[in-house]
Amino acid sequence: MNHLKLAGRMDGSRTVIRVGELRIGQDLTIIAGPCSVESEEQTLTIARAVKRAGAGLLRGGAFKPRTSPYSFQGLGLEGLKILAKARTETGLPVITEVLDTRDVGWVSEYVDILQVGARNMQNFSLLKEIGKVGKPVMLKRGMFATYAEWLNCAEYILDAGNPDVILCERGIRTFEPWTRNTLDLSAVPAMKELSHLPVFVDPTHGTGRVELIQPMAMAAVAVGADGLMVEVHHDPEHAMSDGPQALLPEQFDSLMADVNRLKDALNGTIHENDVHAGKEIALEGSEKGRVREYAW
Ligand code: PEP
Ligand code: MN
């Protein structure tokens, strides 16, 4: 039997990850930005817009895991420099995906959070390498992964020495072709039950449909997500990746307003809800080491 010694739920305490002013796992945190970093102007325009709307972190891919080798692969180092510039200008911490074990060390110097994409969730060499760096990591759920497989991947990172793992549900493949993926919101309370790690939801890749992003973002917050990851582009028609699923800045403004209203409305009840109980006793740093064996 496998034991989720580190990722498994323990004593009711939950992991809280500090990134600058943010307390991920304690306060609702919104990550927004383009699918890909395309240029300085594009990234800064979007960064300013999402900052204004109240996002806590800027996303942007510099290394893109594309289905076709002929699709835009990302700007690499140049993209990381643009992200760093956007951080300096807006004050937003940044998150980017790392695809290759060889890039983990140097990429981690440019960003605040590393992302492991769905396609790489079970790239065990990458997970072990990421476990060695001192930056938080967001582990997206593989599109064919069960909860046990996903949590075991988190276990790899934790076991390699990195305690700051965020889980992100981004939809799974089902027989439904109208949506890009089927967003499994059961994963949120399930992960809260099985693990102490923060759980995010990506309604953008999870649905692939602009009109579904806001409702599913609301549902994710209602079901207890610690945060959201949303793609935003000021000119989706000319985006180099994932344009059709990007929210315009004004659509993102509206999403943020709705999410904030929902958060306020939930505030009265949230502390009595078991799913959120850990937040009442959210622990910072010192308690993060408390684990007990969880037998899957
Ligand atoms: C992304 O967030 O940029 C991405 C590629 O998502 P996923 O790995 O979930 O497909
Ligand atoms: Mn994308």
Instruction: State how many domains the chain has.
Output: 1
Residue type present at position 35: C
Name the nearest CA neighbour of 147 among 113, 192, 104.
192
Q: What is the CATH number of the domain that holds 232?
A: 3.20.20.70
Could you say which ligand is closest to the alpha carbon of residue 229? 1
**Is the CB of 170 within 6 Å of ligand 1?**
yes
Could you say which ligand is closest to the alpha carbon of residue 202? 1
**202-218 mean pLDDT:** 98
Q: Which residues pair with 33 in a beta bridge?
A: 231
Instruction: Please indicate, yes or no, if residue 292 is contained in any of the structural domains.
Output: no
pLDDT in tens, 234-282: 999 999 999 999 999 999 999 999 999 999 999 865 444 444 433 333 3
The label of the residue with tokens 């004004």 reads 250
Instruction: Please indicate, yes or no, if residue 291 is contained in any of the structural domains.
Output: no
What is the distance in A from the centroid of ligand 1 to the CA of 12? 30
**165-171 mean pLDDT:** 98
Confidence of residue 3 (pLDDT cuts 50, 70, 90): confident
**Per-residue pLDDT at 287 exceeds 90:** no
To the nearest whole number, what is the mean pLDDT of the chain? 91
CA contacts within 13 A on the Cβ side of 241 = 26
Could you say which ligand is closest to the alpha carbon of residue 35? 2
**151-179 mean pLDDT:** 98
Q: Which domain holds residue 205?
A: 17-270
Instruction: Please indicate, yes or no, if residue 220 is contained in any of the structural domains.
Output: yes
pTM, entire model: 0.91
**Is the CB of 141 within 6 Å of ligand 1?**
no
Assess contact for 70 and 96: CB atoms under 8 A.
no
Instruction: Please indicate, yes or no, if residue 284 is contained in any of the structural domains.
Output: no
Instruction: Please indicate, yes or no, if residue 251 is contained in any of the structural domains.
Output: yes
What is the distance in A from the centroid of ligand 1 to the CA of 60? 10
E strand or H helix at 228, and its extent? strand 227-231
Instruction: Please indicate, yes or no, if residue 287 is contained in any of the structural domains.
Output: no
What is the distance in A from the centroid of ligand 1 to the CA of 116? 8
Assess contact for 191 and 7: CB atoms under 8 A.
no
